[in-house]
Chain A
Amino acid sequence: MDADSLLLSLELASGSGQGLSPDRRASLLTSLLLVKRDYRYSRVLFWGRILGLVSDYYIAQGLSEDHLAPRKTLYSLNCMEWSLLPPATEEMMVQTSMVKGRFMGDPSHDYEYTELQKVNEGDKTLEEVVVRVKEETRLVSIIDQIDKAVAIIPRGALFKTPFGPIHVNRTFEGLTLSEAKKLSSYFHFREPVDLKNKTLLEKADLDPSLDFMDSLEHDIPKGSWSIQMERGNALVVLRSLLWPGLTFYHAPCTKNCGYIYVGTGEKNIDLPFML
């Protein structure tokens, strides 16, 4: 959700029960403004909150002019002091994929797990190696995964300029009611992956300046989104079932839209059983 309109966004996203306490809100409004100034972001998003056992991580993201460019992620434990997270790499993903369970809330906490590694000295032997993963690394990797999987934006809110970069569409007036009820009106807020694999026939109907991202409707598994109209059609709420805790809200026919993640930072791999 946009840091500039944080209060309205929080109110809109409150249907899932996760909000911010007044003191957190106030401190975010103050500190995100400073973050924007210090890091020279063109836009700052309040990304959400990852619930730890001891304390919570508050996550914010800074966007540059090009909205699809890699985003900078910051975290904070007290909503005032923000630290920049390193960009996520493949290696981190592999490392942290072994770690299960809840976050602790301490960035320097070490997760330990044993791994069988091949040691090719003479005979082929397997050796148990204790691997340590810092929680910060895990945090980076999880945020990246969530961003790639479920960060969404309504169709038309961004547009591709003739020069390539993706900008906010200032004339975006919100989806109409009928569009707001369809998953095809929402896009993944990331570089397209599936779009390149589409056939020419499928691409024929797309508007190149608007449809440059992947649509939600082809997500796997089908039914990984719950789409609801709340407050008597005045608000669309999308909840990710794959990453429970991610809530996207959009008031049809207005510009108000955004997403927030409040959850444990764990993927729901039981989804097929639960549908």
Chain B
Amino acid sequence: MEGSTAPKQEREHQPSGGRGEPWEEMTAASSQDPQPGSSEPPASEQRPHAGPQPRSCPPRSPQCRGSTPVGGLPEPGASCAPSPPQQPPSTPPLALSGQDPAVPGRTDKTTSATPDARRPPRDRLRQPSGGAESAPPEPGRSKGAALQQFQQTDSQQREPKDVSCNNSQPSARRADTLQEGDANASYDPDEPEPAEPEAAPSVLEIAIRNAKAYLLRSSSESGLNLYDHLSNMLTKIFDERPENAVDIIENISRDVKMVHFSKKLDTLHNENEMLSTYEIAEKQKTLFLQGNLEGADQELEDEIAENPLPNVMESAFYFEQAGVGLGTDETYRIFLALKQLTDTHPIQRCRFWGKILGLEMNYIVAEVEFREGEEEEVEEEDVSEERGDGESEGEEGGEGESPRPSYKAPQPIPKEESRTGANKYVYFVCNEPGRAWVRLPSVTPAQIVTARKIKKFFTGRLDTPIISYPPFPGNESNYLRAQIARISAGTHVSPLGFYQFGEEEGEEEEESEGGRESFEENPDFEGIQVVDLVESLSNWVHHAQHILPQGRCNWFNPIPKSEEEEEEDEEKAEEEKEEEPDYIEQEVGPPLLTPISEDLEMQNTPPWTTRLSSNLIPQYAIAVLRSNLWPGAYAFCNGKKFENLYIGWGHKYSPDSYTPPAPPPVCEEYPSGPEVTEMDDPSVEEEQAFRAAQAAVLPAEENEGTDEDEEEEEDRD
């Protein structure tokens, strides 16, 4: 390639040498302007971006003649060389743009116009010469650049003051330029092509080049050029081959631009974004790995020992028949997460309770029962007891003079022991399978009672405070636990006969009137007809204890204890007796294993809906039970097996809208009685009468006695 440039240069020198001389003389004479000279070398280096340079030319045109050679002085041959092509380049664009008629007759200005046109060719020359030293010139590039120059000269010519050429010369000049352009573009030293046959097609070629140069011009705003944009669009279209490309060309164009614009921003964002994706994938990977490892080690033990892990997938299959449940992969992840839970805790029995939806995250709830005696104690001591202590201290520490507030908070109802009542099971929650399981605290009656009065969305973060009226004692973990207790008590059902009361519980039953508290699986359970389950609600029974209005499953009588406490203070005991009856009637709910057909109906809405999972193949269908009271609670039974599941927001349904509880009654003022009202002040007559009476009693000490009396009377007032 280097070889090719050298001859080119020479060749250009030679023709220019003869013709260029007069120019050189003229320019040398008036070459005093140092500024253009200094500015030129850089300009010629950045030739592809030569846009601004020629723009500055027209105003200078009178001086230009002289100024250009200054830059060209070091190599006069080069600077002279442009002179022949300088005019010709201007003509073809003219011819193309159809401005020829405007040009003729202005021959006098040719001289002024030529300097403008001179620069481009000279630049063209320079680059090859400069490039010959460092790198081989790129023909295509220089061609494009040259075309750009042409384009610019064209635009300059539209300005009236610089018009280039005589009409008489164009053909000769054109031929000249064409040769020149040809030499520049595709000069091959081995077989130099004759210039003449090229002449005809090259008009078209130049037009094409012009158009391409125009397309290649980059926008000042975005830095893009249309040429690249179009080629990107076409690439995209060919890559993707959309159905009706012509209809959506605008969108493709926009997309291509968008990609160009937001590339950097995207990578920045995506890196951050992807992190959390990887993070959860990493966590879930441990689920799968842990399954492998544990399985290999403990396979035998697990199989021998009673496995606490429930068969989540099997019940998920049945729930899927019912049209309920999570996706298959999510279910399996939960399955693995449950396995992780049972492997890390001493768990005797475990069950997938369900999923509670939240605003930001969801809760996956596992219901577990610890092995006997191995329960991990959680040191969360109830607030209610502390509150009671504080009050008693306040009473003792009274100051005697001013009356202490006689209001006593209602007796806090103790929470049920673990493994009984509402705290029969322990619940673990996690936001996503793979994340850590969190044990929920045991539930207190106060929380249940309050939870019945409020309706709040779960946020997905356990430490969120519950801001509500009436104030909820605890944060979201307590509220979640209370709702779980309520939902379990309401919707955990089993087919009739699956569970039976344990033998040994029979005696206790008489003591605790609330009913028997525990049950066991009936070994003789022979299954139940699915059709029966669907047709009659009485074939389903509750196997979770009913929660009393008090907030407990087993009745706790608050009165006896409170009376004992208050024996010291008789007055208060009397007050209480006035307010409340001596005993509170015991709250009784339906006992365990009550058929759900006896559930209360809400305003024409039956509490349960039963259905066959498939009407098409009824012989293999399963019975599906849906709770209307707790939307999202489902149960299925295929005759032998059953399972309960809850997926939903954790709220109870009511046909009416939620009504916030009424504010508590305002306390009565103290009744106006003899303790409050006072007598009128003693009148003078009374005092005189009194004095007279005193005088009669104590005639001896008149003066002193009266004084004292008066003082006493004043005190009394």
A273 to B654, alpha carbons, bound, how many Å? 15
A273 to B255, alpha carbons, bound, how many Å? 44
Residues of chain A contacted by B313 (CB below 8 angstroms): none
Residues 226 to 275 of chain A near chain B (Cβ within 8 Å): 226, 228-234, 239, 241, 244, 263-264, 269-270, 273-275
A11 to B332, alpha carbons, bound, how many Å? 14
B273 within 8 Å of A by Cβ?
yes
Given A53-B606, A178-B269, also A228-B242 (CB < 8 A): no
Given A170-B242, A228-B361, A239-B357, also A21-B604 (CB < 8 A): no
Are A100 and B243 touching (Cβ within 8 A)? no
Residues 203-231 of chain A, each 1 if its beta carbon lies under 8 Å from chain B, else 0: 00000010000000000000100101111
Minimum C-beta distance from A247 to chain B (A): 10
B322 within 8 Å of A by Cβ?
yes
Name the CB-closest residue of A to B469.
A273
Residues of chain B contacted by A264 (CB below 8 angstroms): 631, 653
A177 to B274, alpha carbons, bound, how many Å? 9
Name the CB-closest residue of A to B248.
A170
Are B281 and A22 touching (Cβ within 8 A)? no
Residues of B within 8 A of A (CB): 242-244, 247-248, 250-252, 255, 266, 269-270, 273-274, 276-281, 284, 320-328, 330, 355, 357-362, 432, 454-457, 603-606, 609, 611, 613-617, 626, 628, 631-632, 647-649, 651, 653, 655-658, 660
Are B325 and A102 touching (Cβ within 8 A)? no
Q: Which of B242, B247, B277, B328 contacts A232 (CB 8 A)?
A: B277
Name the CB-closest residue of A to B253.
A171
A89 within 8 Å of B by Cβ?
no
Are A232 and B280 touching (Cβ within 8 A)? yes
Are A53 and B456 touching (Cβ within 8 A)? no
Question: Which of A18, A51, A232 is packed against the most chain B CB atoms within 10 Å?
Answer: A232
Name the CB-closest residue of B to A176.
B266
A190 to B656, alpha carbons, bound, how many Å? 30
- Having A53-B628, A232-B284, A233-B273, one finds 18 other A-B pairs with CB under 8 Å, namely A14-B326, A14-B327, A15-B330, A15-B362, A17-B357, A17-B647, A19-B320, A22-B320, A23-B617, A51-B631, A169-B248, A170-B242, A171-B252, A176-B266, A230-B432, A232-B279, A264-B631, A273-B456
Q: Which of B243, B330, B615 contacts A170 (CB 8 A)?
A: B243
A55 to B323, alpha carbons, bound, how many Å? 13
A101 within 8 Å of B by Cβ?
yes
A5 within 8 Å of B by Cβ?
no
Residues 148-191 of chain A, each 1 if its beta carbon lies under 8 Å from chain B, else 0: 00000000000101000001011101001110000000000000
Are A273 and B658 touching (Cβ within 8 A)? yes
A54 within 8 Å of B by Cβ?
yes
Residues of chain A contacted by B324 (CB below 8 angstroms): 17-19
Name the CB-closest residue of B to A245.
B631
A112 to B327, alpha carbons, bound, how many Å? 40
A132 within 8 Å of B by Cβ?
no
A-B contact count (CB 8 A): 135
Residues of chain A contacted by B656 (CB below 8 angstroms): 100
Are A226 and B359 touching (Cβ within 8 A)? yes
Residues of A within 8 A of B (CB): 11-12, 14-24, 51, 53-55, 78, 100-102, 159, 161, 167, 169-171, 173, 176-178, 209, 223, 226, 228-234, 239, 241, 244, 263-264, 269-270, 273-275
Residues of chain B contacted by A263 (CB below 8 angstroms): 631
Residues of chain A contacted by B455 (CB below 8 angstroms): 270, 273-274
Residues of chain A contacted by B648 (CB below 8 angstroms): 17
Are A24 and B248 touching (Cβ within 8 A)? no
Q: Which of B251, B284, B360, B617 contacts A169 (CB 8 A)?
A: B251
Residues of chain B contacted by A161 (CB below 8 angstroms): 247
Residues of chain B contacted by A229 (CB below 8 angstroms): 276
Residues of chain B contacted by A15 (CB below 8 angstroms): 326-327, 330, 362
Residues of chain A contacted by B325 (CB below 8 angstroms): 14, 17, 19
A228 to B363, alpha carbons, bound, how many Å? 13
Name the CB-closest residue of B to A100.
B655
Residues of chain A contacted by B243 (CB below 8 angstroms): 170
A17 to B647, alpha carbons, bound, how many Å? 6
Are B457 and A270 touching (Cβ within 8 A)? no
Q: List 25 A-B contacts (CB under 8 A).
A: A14-B326, A15-B326, A15-B327, A15-B330, A16-B357, A17-B355, A18-B647, A19-B325, A20-B323, A21-B323, A23-B614, A51-B631, A167-B247, A170-B247, A176-B266, A176-B270, A177-B273, A209-B250, A226-B358, A230-B432, A233-B280, A270-B455, A270-B658, A274-B457, A274-B658
